[in-house]
């Protein structure tokens, strides 16, 4: 089951005008709501975030019931286990999502922050300050938690948000948006700050991508096909999130006892997420000691190994093993599968990662400071980690609060996108009658 978008050229035309009108009406309402939010104080926004969190907890039983409908449809349609995991909500997950809103309320308000400032020789006083984007569009799939994260981040950073969460989570998202809207209205803020266009299907997503001038930025979050379709087709500026073909490299200078739990956590702590490890590279000098131990530990976690000849030779009995193909080095599994290769040098590891990395997160396990320095200066990724799990590439773990996604592009935002990444800046210039000569 996939929520991958079709291109505008493929959209049926029978109801296109009605869908376009409906989506543009939503966008106009969002624009008006964002202007109302621009004058809200931090106290008002934080109170609204707490109200939204309380409303989610109070409505948890209803949300779980709606989510059960989504899960039932997903299973019937053959949805992958990793996507079902992302889709699933229970009371504990809803509580954690609500807690993330409360954590956002505790963070500083980015709006009004002075990025830099100076006084010119002619007396003009300059300040570059953070201001909201305005209206943020989100296109994502099978992740009802993103509905809440996006709403909370948008509110705190002074933006309205338009959500297209896909058919897989339609029941969950519809109820969550309703609950959040009621909470906003009870706080005296426009419920149009959080709106969904799920009812308009893929055609609605296409119209959202065309709503340049009403929607200020679009953030796609999901599989590679969805992201690339949005990047390719959108007329609205896009902040590109990326897939996570993440590597862990165990260097010749690694503390192998420390490296083993890092590999296990990176791969198995949660498999269906973009910061899970998909390839393990092991230096030949430590392979004899490290590979049998890590492969046995991975076997105990039911991980299937896609390995090279050296890995096959080191694999203990009972390990699920398949010979690695070229496709394995390129694959974001999002499952209990791991590609494993033995390399002869740091140079070979760096070359492999450069070739196959998606630019998300790369990890080195080493006690060699020179190797760590080369790894963090010669590779190009949103996050480069030394002696820790890839699973830390996350807005919450980085102290940013909830994240709206992890950007693998290089313009404006890179890595976990928190509050600051949902703002732009404006220059405020104060003078006393100066004119340019």
pLDDT in tens, 231-250: 999 999 998 887 899 999 99
- Please report the domains of the chain, with CATH numbers, ordered by start residue: 13-241+417-429 (3.40.605.10), 246-392 (3.40.309.10)
Res. 3: pLDDT tops 70: no
**Higher-confidence residue: 38 or 341?**
341
3-state DSSP of the chain: CCCCCCCHHHCCCCCHHHHHHHHHHHHHHHHHHHHHHCCCCHHHHHHHHHHHHHHHHHCHHHHHHHHHHHHHHHHHCCCCHHHHHHHCCCHHHHHHHHHHHHHHHHCCCCCCCEEEEEECCCCCEEEEEEEECCEEEEEECCCHHHHHHHHHHHHHCCCEEEEECCHHHHHHHHHHHHHHHHHHHHCCCCHHHEEECHHHHHHHHHHHHHCECCECEEEEECCHHHHHHHHHHCCCCECCECCCCEEEEECCCCCHHHHHHHHHHHHHCCCCCCCCEEEEEEEHHHHHHHHHHHHHHHHHCCCEEEECHHHHHHCCCCCCEEECCHHHHHCCCCCCEEEEEEECCHHHHHHHHHHHCCCCEEEEECCCHHHHHHHHHHCCCCEEEECCCHHHCCCCCCCCCCCCCEECCCCCCCEECCCHHHEEEEEEEECCCCCCC
pLDDT in tens, 188-239: 999 999 999 999 999 999 999 999 999 999 999 887 888 889 999 999 999 8
Q: What percent of the chain has pLDDT over 90?
A: 82
pLDDT in tens, 239-293: 888 789 999 999 999 999 999 999 999 999 998 889 999 999 999 999 999 999 9
What pLDDT score was predicted for residue 320? 94
Mean pLDDT taken over the chain: 93
pLDDT in tens, 90-103: 999 999 999 999 99
Q: What percent of the chain has pLDDT over 70?
A: 96
pTM: 0.84
């Amino acid at each position: 089951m996939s929520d991958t978008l079709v291109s505008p050229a493929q959209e049926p035309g029978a109801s296109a005008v009605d869908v376009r009108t409906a989506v543009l009406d939503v966008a106009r309402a969002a624009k008006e709501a964002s202007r109302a939010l621009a004058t809200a104080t931090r106290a008002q926004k934080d109170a609204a975030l707490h109200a939204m969190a309380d409303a989610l907890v109070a409505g948890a039983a209803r949300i779980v019931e709606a989510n059960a409908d989504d899960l039932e449809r997903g299973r019937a349609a053959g949805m992958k286990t990793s996507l079902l995991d992302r889709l699933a909500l229970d009371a504990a997950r809803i509580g954690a999502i609500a807690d993330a809103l409360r954590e956002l309320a505790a963070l500083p308000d980015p709006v009004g922050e002075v990025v830099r400032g100076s006084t010119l020789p002619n007396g003009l006083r300059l300040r570059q300050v953070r201001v909201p984007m305005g209206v943020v569009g989100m296109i994502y799939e099978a992740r009802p938690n993103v509905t809440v994260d996006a709403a909370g981040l948008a509110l705190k950073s002074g933006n309205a948000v338009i959500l297209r969460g896909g058919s897989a989570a339609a029941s969950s998202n519809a109820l969550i948006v309703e609950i959040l809207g009621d909470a906003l209205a009870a706080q005296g803020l426009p419920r149009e700050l959080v709106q969904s266009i799920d009812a308009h299907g893929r055609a609605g997503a296409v119209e959202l991508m065309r709503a340049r001038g009403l929607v200020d930025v679009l953030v796609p979050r999901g599989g590679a096909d969805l992201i690339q379709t949005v990047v390719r087709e959108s007329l609205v500026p896009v902040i590109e999130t990326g897939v996570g073909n993440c590597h862990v490299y165990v260097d010749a200078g690694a503390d192998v006892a420390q490296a083993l739990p890092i590999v296990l956590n990176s791969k198995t702590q949660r498999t269906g997420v973009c910061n899970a490890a998909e390839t393990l590279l092991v230096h030949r000098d430590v392979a004899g000691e490290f590979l049998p131990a890590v492969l046995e530990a991975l076997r105990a976690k039911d991980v299937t190994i896609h390995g090279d000849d050296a890995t096959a030779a080191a694999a203990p009995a009972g390990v699920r093993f398949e010979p690695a193909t070229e496709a394995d080095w390129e694959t974001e599994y999002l499952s209990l599968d791991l590609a494993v290769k033995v390399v002869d040098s740091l140079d070979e590891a760096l070359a492999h990662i450069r070739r196959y990395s998606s630019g998300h997160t790369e990890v080195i396990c080493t006690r060699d400071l020179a190797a760590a320095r080369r790894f963090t200066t010669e590779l190009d990724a949103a996050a480069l980690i030394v002696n820790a799990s890839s699973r830390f590439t996350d807005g919450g773990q980085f102290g940013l609060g909830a994240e709206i996604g992890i950007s693998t592009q290089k313009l404006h935002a890179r890595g976990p996108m928190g509050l600051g990444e949902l703002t732009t800046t404006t220059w405020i210039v104060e003078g006393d009658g100066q004119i340019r000569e």
